[in-house]
Each structure stands twice: as structure tokens, then as C-alpha cells.
Structure 1
Amino acid sequence: MGDQAKDKPDENAVHKNAILVESIKKEMAVYKPYETFAINPYNKLHVLAGKPNSKYDQLDPSAANFDFFDQIKRANQEPNKKYDEAQTVNQEYGWINKPLVELEKEDKRLYFGRANSEITKYMEVYFLQKEQETMHDKN
């Protein structure tokens, strides 16, 4: 094992550079640069504001790409506004979020408003007095 290491000649800077050039040529043969970039409309974006007085952050309104803004709006919508159907099983639970029957306060069958009786009024006064006593005892 030690003999193999001794038989191997030392690499010098010329050999290392030749290996580097060869590996770069191989990489560049399969390298395809992207020239157009697009936003993924299915991921949420966290856009950071630029510096307020920077001349480089000023946008020209005539050069605005409104398709890009539409994609950002779509990415920030709720799933039931983005898609026609639920995409996962868990989305099915809350997909239809409109009530089956509209709530009418005059209909006593479905609306149970807050009702006060003698005992609830008594207990409300009792608890208010108890709170005042505890506040008085702390001071």
C-alpha cells in the first residue's frame, strides 16, 4: 500500500490546471443557462421593500409587468379562490365554507341569542364585586 503512494508522481500546478480545464469543458458541454425567469405562482412571496430614497428602486409605471402582479395576487389567494376543486384531502374539509342556511335573527329555531335571567344578572354583579374586592386587597 505504501509502495503505490511512492510510485505515483506528485501533481504539479500544470497538471492541476489541466485537470481543472478538462472538468470545466465537460461541465460547459451540458450546461444550459436560463435566460427567462418566472415566479412560481403556487408559493407565497415575501416581498421586501426597497430603500425609500434610492434612485435604483424607483419603478417606471409604464414598464410595469402586470402579469407578474397578477401572479403575485393569485399566489396570495386562499386555495378555494385559486382552484376549482380541493387539491388535497385535508382541503376538502373546509372547501365549502358558506353556511347551508343563512342566519336570521328573527328565526328562533336557529338563532339563540344571549339571554339574561335573574340568576345570570345576580352572578354578574357578584363577580364584578368579587373582582373589585380582589383589586382592593392587592392595593
Structure 2
Amino acid sequence: MAEAATATKSASATNPVFRDAIHAETVRKEMQLYKIYENYMLTPAVEKGLVVAEKPNRINIQDIEKNLEKEDEKKTSKTVAPRPLIPLTSNETYGWHTVPLMRNTDPRFYHPKVETEITKMYGAIVVKKEPGDAKAKAAT
């Protein structure tokens, strides 16, 4: 009996008709689980940042220019509000005082640029002008 079962398995595996029938049945069963979508929707997360623009051939340049002029008029009509004397919120306290807490001349925190002979020499080479340069001729 075991020999008959192995004989049918090997016969079905080698017979192209059986292989095609098995493949067709497998595909038919798999396709029962899938649904072909013809109407697509965007997720709400994508719709938040989505910008829907007009088609290029539907845009009227005169309308755009009018809108830009209106926006410019709105911007120019706005006045700058004076800065309050004290911070109104806790977030405004950061950066409110622009006076430095420490003096700039304190040697612990003040490290000015120092030029050595090598950096002066390389700086002179980089800054050196070409002889045909108009600015170099004007300077001499």
C-alpha cells in the first residue's frame, strides 16, 4: 500500500497535467481570499499634509497676481507691536536679558583668535591678489 501511495505521488509530481491542475486549483483558492480594489482612499495621516493644487492649464495668472497683491497689502498694513517691559509667559523668560552674565575679558571664558607666524603666512598667500586683477591695480 505504501508503494502505491509513493507511486501516485511521484506520478503526480512528474505528470505536467497534474502539476498544472494543482497549480490552477492553488491559484483559484488563493484568489478567493483577495479582493481587487478599484476605488482607492488615502489614509487620514497622509491627507493632513496633502496639498491639492489646481491643474496647470486651469490656473489663471491674473488671479494669482491679485492674491499676491492682497497679501502684500495685508503685510504692509500690519504694525509691529512694542515689546512688553516684562516677559508675559514662562517661555519668554529665556533669552529675555541680552546682557551677558560674565564679562568677555574673563580669561576663563574668553579665548580670542590667535594668529601664529604660520597662519599669517598662509593667510597672506590666500589673500594675495593676481597681478592682472583690477582691484589689485586700483589698490596700488
| Same fold, TM-score > 0.5, yes or no | no
TM-score (norm: length of structure 2): 0.31
Q: Which structure has the higher relative contact order (CA within 8 Å, separation 6+)?
A: 1
TM-score (norm: length of structure 1): 0.31
